[in-house]
Amino acid sequence: MSLGEFDIIARYFARKSARSDVLLGIGDDAAVVDSHAGRKLVVAVDTIVEGVHFLANIDPVDIGYRALAVNLSDVAAMGAEPAWMTLSLSLPRANEQWLDGFARGLFELANEYNVALVGGDTVRGPLVITVQIAGWVEADAWLARSGAKPGDLIFVSGIPGEAAAGLAVIQRRILGGESAAFLTHRFLRPRPRIELGRQLRTVATAAMDVSDGLLTDLKKLCAASGCGAQLNVDLLPESAAMRELFEVDDCLQYALSGGDDYELLFTLPPDQALAVLSKLQLQQRVTQIGVITAPTSDDARVQCLRNGRPFRIERGGYDHFAAGKQG
């Protein structure tokens, strides 16, 4: 039996939400949500494409989870609380098993963060998934990339590079027991750092999420803030799982230029950093990795130091349209 467009929506996506601010959800021409005086809306969208962002053989449960996770990560980087999303699905065929898995992964994370699916679009085409998300911040307390000042300390949450190492485990079919499973999970199931972003929203001078690689993304933060940065490679948090399966230089490469971490990169004023950190209720580690410096010439915005000496890595971060890359 083949499923029609309306069957797909009704069976897999039209779910009741516990949110009282969804006034009109799936089923009409558009959704209506309640607004709140004094709050600011935060809106983000991310698209994931089969063959570019995920491999064809990835479990649909992981794809559904990931489609929302990458959006929640953007919301986290703004210091916002997520609330509603829409879903645009382009599917080659109406495969019930795939849809069932996808919806399970999507709603697993949506329920965890109380995000309501309020609408979307369903079309036939190559497998492309777009989630648009909206949330809110109180008053003017949102985080941006642009507020870092020379002297500010640079922090990153979690362990950058584990996701890229996880992708390498999958692609090279590395069988490494627990470590391989752990890294694969870090790639397939990025944890949006919503709680951390909420705690940072009034104290961090700048923040962003790391999706394209730590160095590339730090450069973006510096560009937005009109600053440079010094990144001390020796301070990067070590991953026991990564070290078990990869050489030191590969670990460094993954940490600095591997994508898909979805950790938060943020800056704190040096005189407040200690007090702020001691008050954070952290569910994951946060590590100081460098310091913001005065503006420099554009291509040297971020200087890496290893053992006190300048250090260069070969590969940069991910850019869909950069020469020689598939996109």
Residues of the shown chain interacting with ligand ADP in the complex, contacts defined by CB under 6 A: 9, 13, 26-29, 87, 89, 117, 119-122
Compute the least distance from the CB of residue 24 to Mg ion, in Å. Answer: 13
Please give the Cα distance from 80 to 148 (Å, whole number). Answer: 19
Kindly provide the residue ranges of all beta strands, DSSP E only, lying in 14-95, ordered along the sequence: 22-24, 32-33, 39-49, 81-91
Beta bridge partners of 231: 290, 304
Q: Which is nearer to ligand ADP, 27 or 270 (CB)?
A: 27
Q: Is 276 helix (H, G, I), strand (E, B) or coil?
A: helix
117 binds, among ligand ADP, Mg ion, none (CB under 5 to 8 A by kind): ligand ADP
238 binds, among Mg ion, ligand ADP, none (CB under 5 to 8 A by kind): none
Q: Which is nearer to ligand ADP, 27 or 226 (CB)?
A: 27
Compute the least distance from the CB of residue 320 to ligand ADP, in Å. Answer: 24
DSSP 144-212: -GGG--TTPEEEEES-TTHHHHHHHHHHTT---HHHHHHHHHHHHS----HHHHHHHTTT-SEEEEESS
Compute the least distance from the CB of residue 29 to Mg ion, in Å. Answer: 4
Q: Which is nearer to ligand ADP, 95 or 272 (CB)?
A: 95
Q: Which is nearer to ligand ADP, 29 or 299 (CB)?
A: 29
Total residues contacting Mg ion by CB under 5 A comes to 1
Compute the least distance from the CB of residue 99 to ligand ADP, in Å. Answer: 10
Beta bridge partners of 288: 155
Q: Which is nearer to ligand ADP, 34 or 121 (CB)?
A: 121
Whether the CB-CB separation of 204 and 269 falls below 8 Å is answered with no
Tokens of 251: 């670990």
Please give the Cα distance from 91 to 268 (Å, whole number). Answer: 44
298 binds, among ligand ADP, Mg ion, none (CB under 5 to 8 A by kind): none
Site for Mg ion in 273-312 (CB under 5 A): none
Compute the least distance from the CB of residue 10 to Mg ion, in Å. Answer: 16
For residue 45, which of 157, 135, 164 has the smallest C-alpha distance? Answer: 135
| Contact map string, positions 154 to 183, toward Mg ion, x by CB under 5 A | ------------------------------
Q: Identify the residue among 16, 18, 29, 314 touching Mg ion (CB under 5 A).
A: 29
Under the binding rule (CB under 5 A), the answer on residue 30 touching Mg ion is no
Compute the least distance from the CB of residue 119 to ligand ADP, in Å. Answer: 3
φ/ψ of residue 231, rounded to 5: -110, 120
Q: Which is nearer to ligand ADP, 31 or 164 (CB)?
A: 31
Compute the least distance from the CB of residue 47 to Mg ion, in Å. Answer: 22
Compute the least distance from the CB of residue 137 to ligand ADP, in Å. Answer: 25
For residue 114, which of 19, 13, 15, 40 has the smallest C-alpha distance? Answer: 19
Q: Which is nearer to ligand ADP, 13 or 136 (CB)?
A: 13
Please give the Cα distance from 57 to 98 (Å, whole number). Answer: 11
State the pairing for strand pair 228-232/302-306.
parallel
Q: Which is nearer to Mg ion, 29 or 271 (CB)?
A: 29
Whether the CB-CB separation of 133 and 44 falls below 8 Å is answered with yes
Q: Which residues would be at the binding site for Mg ion (CB under 5 A)? A: 29
